[in-house]
């Protein structure tokens, strides 16, 4: 029986109509680990040594996923923090007094947030016909003040994977660092033929989110760097903590997130993730086919994410029917096939779509 409380908390939403989120119901082992570690703070490793050790082990596991033998990094609150940190490290390590970052227009809005916060210029470049970064456009936008090129490995809107090795070559030619945002793609791409990680190209930093396809509880991001120099560029001195410096954006941090990520990756890497990728990728292809058969023109999915043009009126009616669906900046319906999404959910969704369109 839950403890008595003066506050009647409503039931949290169920996932049975959530098609818009890149988060999902935590895996049972991830949930159990989060519950056990709710009272721990890896931000204070001298008070909470156990969870700080778990964080180091989680970074090692993430290194395995992203093709890096000796990874440096930590478990940030999420992808936004990791992306901010990548820009911050590049700014701090660069020598420009008016630094800029070049990113495809498909990059997550957290790069706009990072640019505003860190006072760097963000130069966004057009994507190609398949919504992927265009290395030539990025090369043209870069100059001697460019400290970082951003590539996306699993874009938020279309699930596209940028040509990372080509972007790395551009970065090398202008002396900039390379960051890959694999927040969404990190636990999916290992089971594809894409070239996206540290072993495929001269990447400096990467974002990979255990609390997305990694099936961890929130908050559990991943900020992974090739060199320790990157972390040094983020270090701030910490008096009255027995540790000497802190590289994270946050201070007190969630041990629940760290333990949850550790448990999920230990449990699911690689077979569990592979099975889930196959299942959700299959669902994406099936959904795209089902939309096509209804006269829609969905974009061919490259990861478990389906987009398709949709009248605003139909979209609103779907939301009114309780479906948590989202739109791309261009107004296309966007459905993310996360672990909680089943074929039955999609069938119910299509039934409502058919009803709405009459």
Stretch of residues binding a copy of itself (CB under 8 A), selected from 164-172, 174-182, 247-255, 290-298: 247-255
Q: Which helix (H) or strand (E) holds 353?
A: helix 343-357
Residue 226 interacts with a copy of itself (CB under 8 A)? no
Residue 254 interacts with a copy of itself (CB under 8 A)? yes
- Mind spelling out the 3-state secondary structure of 281-329? HHHHHHHHHHHHHCCCCCECCCCCEEEECCCHHHHHHHHHCCCECEECC
Q: Which of residues 94-123 bind a copy of itself (CB under 8 A)?
A: 108-110, 112-113, 116-119
Among 100, 124, 230, 246, binds a copy of itself (CB under 8 A): 246
150 and 101 Cβ atoms separated by less than 8 Å: yes
134 to 153: interface string for a copy of itself, x by CB under 8 A: --------------------
- CA 301 to the chain's CA centroid: 17
- Residue 64 CB, shortest distance to a copy of itself, in Å, is 14
Among 12, 193, 295, 358, binds a copy of itself (CB under 8 A): 12
Beta carbon nearer to a copy of itself, 109 or 136: 109
Beta carbon nearer to a copy of itself, 189 or 258: 258
DSSP 142-166: --TTEEEEEEEBS-TTT--B--HHH
* Sheet of strand 146-152: strand arrangement: 72-74, 223-225, 205-207, 177-181, 146-152, 100-104, 121-125
Q: How far apart are CA 210 and CA 186, in angstroms?
A: 8
Beta carbon nearer to a copy of itself, 47 or 347: 47
For residue 93, the number of C-alpha atoms closer than 13 Å in the C-beta half-sphere is 23
Among 218, 303, 306, 318, binds a copy of itself (CB under 8 A): 218
Q: Which of residues 294-333 bind a copy of itself (CB under 8 A)?
A: 319, 324, 326-329
Q: Which of residues 150-169 bind a copy of itself (CB under 8 A)?
A: 156-157
Structure tokens at 17: 């109509």
Among 130, 229, 252, 289, binds a copy of itself (CB under 8 A): 252
Residue 75 interacts with a copy of itself (CB under 8 A)? no
Residue 240 interacts with a copy of itself (CB under 8 A)? yes
Q: How far apart are CA 243 and CA 120, in angstroms?
A: 30
Instruction: State phi, psi for 109 to the nearest 5 degrees.
Output: -65, -15
Whose CA is closest to 265, among 29, 77, 22, 21? Answer: 29
Residue 38 interacts with a copy of itself (CB under 8 A)? yes
108 and 63 Cβ atoms separated by less than 8 Å: no
- Residue 176 CB, shortest distance to a copy of itself, in Å, is 20
Stretch of residues binding a copy of itself (CB under 8 A), selected from 31-39, 135-143, 172-180, 293-301: 31-39
């Amino acid at each position: 029986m839950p403890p008595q409380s003066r506050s009647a908390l409503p039931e949290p939403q169920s996932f049975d109509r959530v098609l818009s989120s890149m988060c999902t119901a935590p895996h049972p082992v991830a949930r159990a680990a989060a519950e056990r570690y709710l009272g721990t703070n890896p931000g204070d490793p001298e008070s909470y040594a156990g969870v700080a050790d778990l964080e180091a082990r989680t970074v090692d596991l993430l290194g395995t996923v992203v093709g890096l033998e000796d990874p440096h990094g930590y478990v940030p609150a999420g992808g936004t923090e990791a992306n901010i940190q990548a820009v911050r490290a590049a700014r701090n390590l660069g020598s420009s007094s008016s630094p800029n970052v070049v990113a495809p227009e498909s990059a997550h809005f957290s790069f706009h947030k990072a640019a505003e916060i860190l006072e760097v210029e963000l130069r966004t470049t057009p994507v190609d016909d398949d919504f992927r970064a265009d290395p030539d456009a990025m090369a043209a936008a870069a100059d001697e003040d460019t400290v970082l090129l951003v590539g996306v490995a699993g874009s938020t809107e279309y699930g596209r994977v940028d040509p990372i090795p080509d972007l790395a070559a551009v970065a090398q030619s202008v002396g900039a660092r390379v960051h890959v945002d694999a927040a969404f793609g990190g636990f999916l791409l290992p089971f594809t033929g894409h070239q996206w990680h540290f072993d495929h190209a001269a990447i400096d930093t990467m974002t990979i989110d255990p609390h997305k396809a990694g099936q961890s509880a929130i908050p559990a991001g991943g900020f992974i760097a090739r060199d320790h120099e990157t972390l040094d560029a983020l270090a701030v001195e910490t008096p009255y903590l027995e540790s000497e410096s802190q590289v994270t954006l946050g201070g007190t941090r969630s041990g629940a997130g760290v333990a949850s990520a550790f448990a999920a990756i230990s449990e699911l890497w690689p077979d569990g993730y592979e099975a889930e990728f196959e299942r959700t990728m299959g669902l994406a292809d099936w959904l795209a086919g089902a939309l096509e058969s209804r006269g829609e023109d969905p974009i061919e999915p490259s990861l478990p994410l389906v987009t398709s043009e949709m009248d605003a009126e139909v979209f609103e009616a779907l939301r009114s029917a309780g479906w948590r669906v989202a739109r791309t900046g261009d107004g296309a319906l966007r459905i993310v096939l996360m672990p909680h999404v089943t074929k039955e959910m999609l069938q119910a969704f299509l039934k409502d779509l058919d009803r709405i369109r009459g």
